[in-house]
Amino acid sequence: MSRIQLVKDDLTRMKVDAIVNAANQSLLGGGGVDGAIHRAAGPGLLEECRSLHGCSTGSAKITGGYQLPARYVIHAVGPVWRGGDLGEAELLNSAYETCLQIASQHECKTIAFPNISTGVYGYPKRAAAQVALSAVNNFLEANKVPELVYFVCFDPENYQIYQELLT
Ligand code: ADP
């Protein structure tokens, strides 16, 4: 079986060791998937996030999952799309890679990603999917853990793009 699986669902319902949040630098909550994760996890998550003092773009930080089915949340900060000449691809790659490193350090066998930066942050979806898949493929080639990576595509356009790129 492939170590990369595509899912059309709500990330907050995933029963995995870690889900990844598409967070902003403050880590203090936002809209989109971030808002959904905080609503589902309950107030304990925001409290722990406050103790982290933010996160830089291209990086990530881990917390507990609180009321989520997932044990951990890895809060990743993807870049805002500003035309592509400001290191957006490197920063997006780094966000995915950092999540995988953190997951591996915490012995997470399963991890689920949303489509980081492709909502409010405006990163073109196909280009973002190519970066995400290359970051994950490279990491999985070199590491045994995580064993399984889910891409959870909430919007049909992203789902279709991933379906094409994965076949
Ligand atoms: P960003 O600010 O990084 O662009 P957004 O949360 O605006 O983050 O969007 C990132 C992606 O998350 C979008 O593709 C959006 O469709 C998706 N998304 C929103 N809610 C959920 C959810 N509950 N589960 C999975 N994906 C979601």
Residue 1: predicted pLDDT: 76
- Which of the residues are catalytic? 34
Instruction: Tell me the whole-structure pTM to 2 decimals.
Output: 0.98
Ligand 1 atom nearest the C-alpha of 31 is 6
How far apart, in whole angstroms, are the C-alpha atoms of residue 100 and residue 94?
Answer: 10
Query: How far away, in angstroms, is 1 Cα from ligand 1 center?
Result: 27
How many CB atoms are located within 10 Å of the residue 106 CB?
16
Going from the first residue of the chain to its last (167 residues), give the mean pLDDT of each consecutive group of 10, the final group possibly shorter: 95 98 96 98 98 98 98 98 98 99 98 98 98 98 98 97 97
Residue 26: predicted pLDDT: 98
Torsion of CA 15, 39, 43, 49, to 10 degrees: 80
3-state secondary structure of 164: helix
Pocket test for ligand 1, best of 154, 155, 159, 162 (most atoms within 8 A of CB): 154
DSSP 24: -
- Domains present along the chain, CATH in parentheses: 4-166 (3.40.220.10)
Ligand 1 atom nearest the C-alpha of 125 is 14
Instruction: Kindly report the protein residue whose alpha carbon is nearest to atom 9 of ligand 1.
Output: 119
Query: How far away, in angstroms, is 33 Cα from ligand 1 center?
Result: 4
Phi–psi pair at 142, nearest 5 degrees: -100, -10
